[in-house]
Structure 1
Amino acid sequence: MAPSKTKHAKQACVIPGGFTVLSLQFSTDSVAQHKICVKEHRVRAEKTTQRPLDRTLFVLNIPPYCSEGVIKELFSQFGPVQSVELREKPGSFEHSGPKLAKYFTPAQKQGFRVGYIVFQKAISITAVKSHPHDVPLVVSTEQRPVWTGLQKWIHQYKQSFAQPDKLQEAVDTFMQDYDKRKEEEAERQKEEAEEQLEDEEGWVKVTRGKSGTKTRPHSEVSNQKALQKESRKRKRKELMNFYTWQHRNTQKEHIAELRKKFEEDKQRIALLRAQRKFRPY
């Protein structure tokens, strides 16, 4: 007896490699569907809190019209989403410093991308992997419309104009964070300089550090002082071959020494010829 089609209609589609295939449909009126592959993100070498191993979903073949906000809204039906990260190709998490405002970030390349979705609960990963293959995820709905084509270009064009008050606010916020980081860096260097005191003879005073930290006898300040001390020693030494006449005399002495050795070798060869013991080979 042939198996019933309705029995397998609500099953998830798992392909080799452990990926689960999900169907994307741009809108309810669309006929074509797009396929994405999802898999639980488990990389032992990556020990970062931004991608916890038990709550991170790795997604392949994300279409260009899906932004981070669209992906977050799309997968929120499986559980609350903590963060979404879209990249051009898979890779480890890289902290690129403070997050800049949209006015100072370059435009991203348009194309299919990969994504890392972090859920707040681990059970959401199981819900995504068990989603039926024949039930597509609708991207654009009346509640969350997604613009494409001419409407998207018009929206991007309008958003490209920066309002002076918002731009000034973003600049002020960035400069405040920059000044704060500079003050913290200067304070840290000052503390290191005070902890690692070096006297004139080159001895380093090792002091007790804070609880849970290791003292570093060779700090950046002490290394700079040691380099300065070595440069002063080299300056005190006599400068050799500094003047042109010194260099010329050195060359003359070297040539005279070579000529002397050449004459000695000629005399030794002549003596061997006279004694009939000359063996050139």
Structure 2
Amino acid sequence: MPKIGEYAILPISIPLTPAYPKTTTHTLYLRPHAPKIPTANDERSLFVVNVPIDSTVAHLRAVFATLVGAGRVEDVTFEHERKTMVPSREVVTVGKASKKRKRGSKGGEDNGGAELPQIWDRELRRSGSTAVVVLVDAKSVELALKAVRKLHKSSKKEKEKDRSWPVWGEGLEGKKPKLGSARYLAHHKLRYPDETVLKMNVDAFMTEFNRKEEERTKKERTKKEKRMRNMPDEDGFVTVTRGGRTGPARSEEAEQKKKEMDEKERKKREELQSAGFYRFQVREQRKAEQGELVKKFEEDRKRVGAMKEKRGRFRPER
């Protein structure tokens, strides 16, 4: 079997289209999935490189159905879905409205079904992108790679035009939205949805948004109340909030809390004074101190004068 490194080569036949009225061949590269961070499904998964830009889950299911039979593919995850962890979806046009059909659950944010209208009827892949195909068991992976080897052996005995590669999109005719000009025509129509449908989508989206905001606010309020329950004030009391409290504060905790608050208040006062917020108070305090010093000086001077006067009137006995 032709291989490039550890990848098995699987050519697929691309049917003719109005834009390119010739049958051509596209090449897929397969290998057992071996990510850097192992998962539970690695041994029954295949890593597929160079998927066509119009790939869907149904397309890859059909390819593997020709290799190992129908019902062997459990799930398909495309490259951008692994990076963003968003469920793969397909948009099905129903009249003027559009609805989403979820394909599996890959995690990510759940909007509770509140989605804005889509403006494309199908999603296209980046050229040369990858996908992970999860099969039902590890034996199916071996069977798929073995079927690829058999295709290459049989193709050597056949002429170029008779080679039986899997046909891309076989059995899906009419089941998927068209590409080309039909895709852009559908895009133009989807850009202007029915007013009723648009209003319903916007109302549902905003309702879900408001619900999540209320939940977030409620969680923040609950966290704040829990902090208040465990934090005694300077008198040793614990704030009782809705839902009860954890218990009375111990005297050691209350004393420690009071010291912390006093120290915090002292530091804050020093910072404010150093920043000049209470400069006028400092100035008044200095004036008062200077006045006290002058007053004490005058009192001392009078006291000394009185002592000198008293000493001058003293007459010792002879």
Partner residue in 2 for 1:170: 201
Percent of aligned positions that are identical: 16
Q: CA deviation at 1:128?
A: 2.5
Q: CA deviation at 1:241?
A: 4.5
Partner residue in 1 for 2:110: 98
Q: CA deviation at 1:37?
A: 0.7
Which of residues 114, 130, 138 in structure 2 aligns to 1:114?
130
Which of residues 53, 68, 71 in structure 2 aligns to 1:64?
53
SS of match in other structure, 1:200 = coil
More helix by share: 2
Partner residue in 2 for 1:25: 13
> Using the alignment, how far apart are the partners of 2:65 and 2:15 within structure 1?
17
Q: CA deviation at 1:105?
A: 8.7
> Using the alignment, how far apart are the partners of 1:70 and 1:160 within structure 2?
27
Q: Which amino acid aligns with 2:141?
A: I
> Using the alignment, how far apart are the partners of 1:60 and 1:93 within structure 2?
19
**Which protein is bigger by CA-based radius of gyration?**
2
Q: Which amino acid aligns with 2:14?
A: F
Task: Give the stretch that moved more between structures: 90-99 or 133-142.
Answer: 90-99
Say whether residues 1:181 and 2:196 are aligned partners: no
TM-score by length of 2: 0.49
> Using the alignment, how far apart are the partners of 1:65 and 1:183 within structure 2?
41
**Contact 1:21 1:38 (8 Å CA) reproduced:** yes
Partner residue in 2 for 1:279: none
Partner residue in 1 for 2:168: 139
1:109/1:116 CA distance change after superposition, 3 Å: closer
> Using the alignment, how far apart are the partners of 1:72 and 1:80 within structure 2?
8
- 5+ residue gaps, structure 2, are 87-106, 153-163, 239-260, 281-318
Partner residue in 1 for 2:44: 55
Say whether residues 1:239 and 2:227 are aligned partners: no
**Contact 1:56 1:125 (8 Å CA) reproduced:** yes
Q: Which amino acid aligns with 1:35?
A: T
Q: Which amino acid aligns with 2:146?
A: S
Q: CA deviation at 1:233?
A: 5.5
Q: How does 1:238-277 map to 2 (within 5 A)?
A: 238-242=272-276
Q: Which amino acid aligns with 1:199?
A: P
Alignment length, in residue pairs? Answer: 208
SS of match in other structure, 2:43 = coil
Q: CA deviation at 1:26?
A: 1.8
SS of match in other structure, 1:240 = helix
1:61/1:98 CA distance change after superposition, 3 Å: same
**Contact 1:75 1:81 (8 Å CA) reproduced:** yes
Q: How does 1:182-221 map to 2 (within 5 A)?
A: 182-196=213-227, 197-200=230-233
Q: CA deviation at 1:53?
A: 1.7
Q: CA deviation at 1:194?
A: 4.2
Q: Which amino acid aligns with 2:75?
A: S
> Using the alignment, how far apart are the partners of 1:167 and 1:153 within structure 2?
20
> Using the alignment, how far apart are the partners of 1:83 and 1:127 within structure 2?
17
- 5+ residue gaps, structure 1, are 1-11, 206-228, 247-281
1:142/1:241 CA distance change after superposition, 3 Å: closer
Partner residue in 2 for 1:124: 140
**Contact 1:20 1:39 (8 Å CA) reproduced:** yes
Q: Which amino acid aligns with 2:32?
A: E
Q: CA deviation at 1:63?
A: 1.7
Q: Which amino acid aligns with 1:236?
A: R
Partner residue in 2 for 1:208: none
Q: CA deviation at 1:191?
A: 4.1
